[in-house]
Amino acid sequence: MLISFKKTTSNKVLGLSFHSKKPWILASLLNGGIELWDYRRETLIQRSGSEEVQEHIAGAISNISAVEEIRTTLAEEGVVPVLLPLLISGSSLVKEKTVNFISLISSSGEYFRDLIVRERGLQIRR
């Protein structure tokens, strides 16, 4: 079955995931965006992560990672589980800033390294 999603602009799709019960497709895009489509009605249900939003996210991550006290406090308050999904769904700029932030946290001490590994942020090869 060929489905045409009448969209005026295009973006490369990196990955697709189908809902197990509903007629939905979740698409991750090259620009870091995520779109949820209803393939029966051929309509866009939800869109998130536009390029403008991704730029704001990258700027915020860059700003908070610049100050050690803020970085440490955020790590203690649980920022790692929030940041890790950005490594998958973020734009390349967001991924770069997130990797930088996580590497700065991991260099702050053993506690933070253990926290990142526990959250599966760094894969240790054995």
pLDDT per position as a tens digit, 34-59? 788 899 998 988 877 666 777 777 78
124 within a domain of the structure (yes/no) = no
User: Is 0.85 surpassed by the pTM of this model?
Assistant: no
More confidently predicted of 92 and 41: 41
SS3 115: helix
Q: In whole angstroms, how far apart are CA 16 and each of 13, 19, 40, 67, 83?
A: 8, 10, 16, 37, 22
Domain count, the chain: 2
Question: Does 109 lie in the same domain as 84?
Answer: yes
Quote the domain boundaries for residue 83: 51-118
Question: Does 106 lie in the same domain as 68?
Answer: yes
The last residue of one of the domains, among 29, 48, 67, is 48
125 within a domain of the structure (yes/no) = no
